[in-house]
Amino acid sequence: MSDSTLQHIHMQVMWNRLISVVEEQALALIRTAFSTSVREAGDLSAGVFDRQGRMLAQAVTGTPGHVNSMADAVPHFIRDIGQGNIHEGDVYITNDPWKGTGHLHDFTVVTPSFLEGELIGYFASTAHVVDVGGRGFGPDGREVYEEGLCVPIMKFADRGTVNRDLVNILHNNVRESDKVVGDLYALAASNDTGHRRLLDMMREFELRDLEGIGGFILERSLAATLARIAELPRGRYANSMTLDGYDRDVTLAVALEIGPDGLLADFEGTSAASGMGINVPLTYTKAYACYGLKCVIAPEVPNNSASLAPFAVRAPAGCILNAQRPSPVAVRHVLGHFVPDLVLGALHRFLPDRIPAEGSGALWNLHVSARPIDPQAGLPAAEILMFNSGGTGARPSLDGLSATAFPSGVHAMSAEATEQTGPIVVWRKELREHSSGAGQYRGGLGQVMELGPREGYAFRFNAMFDRIANPARGRAGGGSGAPGRVSLSDGTLLRGKGTQHVPPGQHLILELPGGGGFGDPARRDRQALACDLRNGYLDEAALRRDYGVEPAELPALPRC
């Protein structure tokens, strides 16, 4: 075996070790976090960066919106803090939507890493906290100033000493101060875990810096990604999508321009920014556009600054996908989560056998503010955050996934964990019948949730839902998924976005949308249809209507 081959293997071993370092960093955050969105859902990111602020490795645990926007955030920290003001023992923090990950509820914490007094790189992590004050987590703000407290890039700790003034400000401006401040300490602790594991690795491999392994990672990732793009046909491919918006439909549009040196996603033609908090800063749009493109074009190339570099994003300033300060952006995830399906629709123009149908897209996040009916009863108030998912789109050779988050990848929160966070009861949580789009491969099913306050409490909730007026579309002849629905237990319909109340004696019912189908429904396998019928995914009427099949035509199956 040649020396060059041995060196290559040595570098690959260190690369894999670096990934294990950041994965342990992420797990440390999960284990120490106070918020259920981090502990239960994995709504976070973690990564290691070189001295220039280039992301070398990310944890598998986490969301694309956090990871990819965090890749752009770290250079902001380096510039704003200043090279001469970076010291061992420092910890930096921000939740600035335009320099972080898109809205005030995400805090990004960056920690410089030193080896024997020399700066070798940075660790960064991001987590969604339950509250940042203001109106709370919802779309009703008309400026970012209404949406909560903004912490500019600053020091959370200076040479090991925590900024007590910042902690005091946070304690006095957020509703769940113990959880929020606890999460900030958890973020800092996770970075420290990554730092300590990195030093162990460097001493084991006798490294003085990350320049050698960093160069190896970035050079090969860039070359591999460019090679995949070079295999694509040159040209311009467009797609558009209509979504619910806040009080009127909005249009998202994209054109992909494929050239020899990369790919540009141009969002010209997208609707103008909204007056309500559904707008998306460009950093978040870029994060999910790159994710959608990379999933199809270069899925096997590890995610880092170099593998993201060939994907460029452009959007008109002031459009809803490039909102300018001080636009309200609290629920930027709602439209941002549709960006992957948007770019996938453009890729479908020339890769028809690799692109799934549209799915439910955005998480149906539910933020509940529970308050005692009798203020003198001595019962505590509570803020409760739940993440819920509809169905994904069918794939060219497989059914869609039911009640599964794509593209965010977060876990659903269990009913048991949710009920432990505050005075709420989840009365029902089940797959939603008849919600999948018909096709040779059907879309994933949504789910039905019914919930209400415990005795002695009332609650209001911030709705941030979509695909109620505009369901997920099928591909290649597949049918659309079922649209979502929000109602009270007495049948009263509620809005898909905005703060609303659940009256005493009523329950809130969420019917989440299903994914679109793929291919002609007439070509669906009869055994698969028999399983769908037996499992209650559809009934005999839907079997006849959507597939043109009589129940008697299906084979008898002992088990599905």
Q: What is the reported pLDDT for 200?
A: 96
Confidence of residue 3 (pLDDT cuts 50, 70, 90): low
Q: Is the pLDDT assigned to residue 560 strictly greater than 80? A: no
Sequence length of the chain is 560
Report CA torsion sign: 278, 484, 384, 129: negative
Q: What is the reported pLDDT for 558?
A: 63
Dump pLDDT digits (tens) for 517-541: 999 999 999 999 999 999 999 999 9
Q: What is the reported pLDDT for 260?
A: 85
> In what helix (H) or strand (E) does residue 425 lie, and over which residues does it extend?
strand 424-431
> With DSSP H G I counted as helix, E B as strand and the rest as coil, what are the percentages for the chain, rounded to 5?
30, 20, 45
CA pair distance 39, 43, nearest whole angstrom = 8
At 12, the amino acid letter reads: Q
Phi and psi torsions of 64, nearest 5°: -60, -35
CA pair distance 182, 200, nearest whole angstrom = 27
Q: Is the pLDDT assigned to residue 362 strictly greater than 60? A: yes
Dump pLDDT digits (tens) for 269-295: 999 999 999 999 999 999 999 999 999
**What angle do helix axes 3-32 and 211-230 make, rounded to 10 degrees?**
100
Q: What is the reported pLDDT for 92?
A: 98
At 300, the amino acid letter reads: E
> Hey, is 1 helix, strand or coil?
coil
CA pair distance 187, 127, nearest whole angstrom = 7
Domain boundaries, the chain: 3-221, 356-524
Q: What is the reported pLDDT for 62?
A: 85
**CA end-to-end distance (rounded Å), the chain:** 52
CA pair distance 293, 228, nearest whole angstrom = 11
Q: What is the reported pLDDT for 483?
A: 98
Confidence of residue 448 (pLDDT cuts 50, 70, 90): very high
- The topology (CATH level 3) of 3-221 is Beta-Lactamase (3.30.450)
Q: Is the pLDDT assigned to residue 206 strictly greater than 70? A: yes
Average pLDDT over residues 253-258: 98
CA pair distance 102, 87, nearest whole angstrom = 27
Residues 6+ apart with CB under 8 A from 398: 441
Q: Considering only CA atoms, which of 191, 136, 214, 242 is closest in space to residue 25?
A: 191
- Percent of the chain at pLDDT exceeding 90: 88
Say if CB 518 and CB 509 are below 8 A apart. Answer: no
Average pLDDT over residues 393-422: 92
Q: Considering only CA atoms, which of 539, 557, 98, 88 is closest in space to residue 327?
A: 98
Q: Is the pLDDT assigned to residue 412 strictly greater than 90? A: no
> In what helix (H) or strand (E) does residue 49 lie, and over which residues does it extend?
strand 44-49
Q: Considering only CA atoms, which of 549, 499, 541, 545 is closest in space to residue 524?
A: 549
Q: What is the reported pLDDT for 335?
A: 98
Say if CB 124 and CB 186 are below 8 A apart. Answer: no
Say if CB 31 and CB 13 are below 8 A apart. Answer: no
Per the structure block, which two tokens stand in for 281?
Answer: 């800063």
Stronger pLDDT, 287 or 505, i.e. the higher one: 287
Confidence of residue 8 (pLDDT cuts 50, 70, 90): confident
Average pLDDT over residues 378-394: 92
Confidence of residue 559 (pLDDT cuts 50, 70, 90): low
Cis before 407? omega within 30 = yes
Q: pTM for the whole thing?
A: 0.95
Strand residues in 379-491 grouped as ranges (E): 382-386, 424-431, 447-453, 457-464, 485-488
Say if CB 282 and CB 321 are below 8 A apart. Answer: yes
Q: Considering only CA atoms, which of 30, 24, 55, 71 is closest in space to residue 196?
A: 24
Cα of 171 vs its chain's centroid, Å: 27
> Hey, is 542 helix, strand or coil?
helix
Surface-to-core class of residue 240, CB atoms within 10 Å of its CB (0-12 exposed, 13-18 middle, 19+ buried) = middle
Torsion of CA 53, 55, 60, 62, to 10 degrees: 40
Q: Is the pLDDT assigned to residue 1 strictly greater than 60? A: no
Confidence of residue 464 (pLDDT cuts 50, 70, 90): very high
Say if CB 470 and CB 252 are below 8 A apart. Answer: no
> Hey, is 193 helix, strand or coil?
helix
Stronger pLDDT, 199 or 60, i.e. the higher one: 199
Q: Is the pLDDT assigned to residue 4 strictly greater than 80? A: no
> In what helix (H) or strand (E) does residue 415 lie, and over which residues does it extend?
helix 415-421
CA pair distance 57, 65, nearest whole angstrom = 16
Say if CB 406 and CB 356 are below 8 A apart. Answer: no
Average pLDDT over residues 246-256: 97
User: What angle is formed at CA 290 by the lines to CA 288 and CA 294, rounded to 5 degrees?
Assistant: 120
Confidence of residue 557 (pLDDT cuts 50, 70, 90): confident
Report CA torsion sign: 271, 274, 277, 281: positive
CA pair distance 138, 385, nearest whole angstrom = 11
Q: Kindly give the pairing relationship between strand 424-431 and strand 382-386.
A: unpaired
Across the chain, mean pLDDT equals 95
Q: What is the reported pLDDT for 376?
A: 87
DSSP 65-122: HHHHHHHHHHHHHHHHH-GGG--TT-EEEE--TTTTTSSTTEEEEEEEEEETTEEEEE
Phi and psi torsions of 48, nearest 5°: -115, 140
